[in-house]
Amino acid sequence: MELSFIYLSFPFWRAEVSKITLYIAGIDFENRVILPEEFQQVKISGKLNDGTCIPHHQLPCLLVDGHPIVQTGAIARFCGKLAGSYPKNDDLLAAQIDQFIDFSTDITVLVSNTGRDDSQQEKQKKREALADGELGRKLNILENNIKDNGDWIIRDNMGLEDIAIWRLMGWLSSGTVDGIPTNILQRYPKIKRVCIAVDNASKIRDWVKLTYPEGYNRGNYHDTGASK
């Protein structure tokens, strides 16, 4: 089976959850990076420059023997099944994993949509309020849905859900999201525990070394000090 993964140049959770899952399982795939001009074209026409169809005009997109699949959750489940890290015969565990993929989407949409059409100053203000308000509430809910013991969110080993949360929280706490303080995770020990465990996993370290720019800011899971 030929797999070609199409995404932008930054390691956002929507793509990383699936790419890393394939990488850990030793499944080869083409890692195709789309530059901003081509992405604008995708949004308008639903096509890459070479004519490849991107069905929902959004990324990520995975080509499976030339057939495009979109939507983060659909791609993650497909890759998880190929990799043996998403159950094919355990509907309860599958739904439990899905909950975290969908919750990651909820948080992403909440943050991205806040202040999107406002001036920089207004956006900054709304995002700061978000961190203390609805985003804080969501993080608290996430915290309460993570197992009390062990490293991982629901299982005894690292899964799609842990990788998704690691990268989403890395983005949120990296200082690159306007108005979101880098100490956003300080009140959530279990979220930080999961992020540190994923960040320290040897296959994750290998992937980071292989694909992330030198010194890439993967987030702030250790520091509980003042916001930078």
Ligand X SMILES: N[C@@H](CCC(=O)N[C@@H](CS)C(=O)NCC(=O)O)C(=O)O
Residues making contact with ligand X (CB under 6 A): 12, 14, 43, 57-59, 71-72, 105
Between 180 and 201, name the residue whose CB sits nearer to ligand X: 180
Residue nearest to ligand X (CB): 58
Between 18 and 193, name the residue whose CB sits nearer to ligand X: 18
CB of 57 to ligand X, least distance (A): 6
CB of 68 to ligand X, least distance (A): 12
Residues in a beta bridge with 53: 47
CB of 105 to ligand X, least distance (A): 6
CB of 103 to ligand X, least distance (A): 12
Between 41 and 124, name the residue whose CB sits nearer to ligand X: 41
Between 81 and 147, name the residue whose CB sits nearer to ligand X: 81
CB of 63 to ligand X, least distance (A): 15
Between 72 and 182, name the residue whose CB sits nearer to ligand X: 72
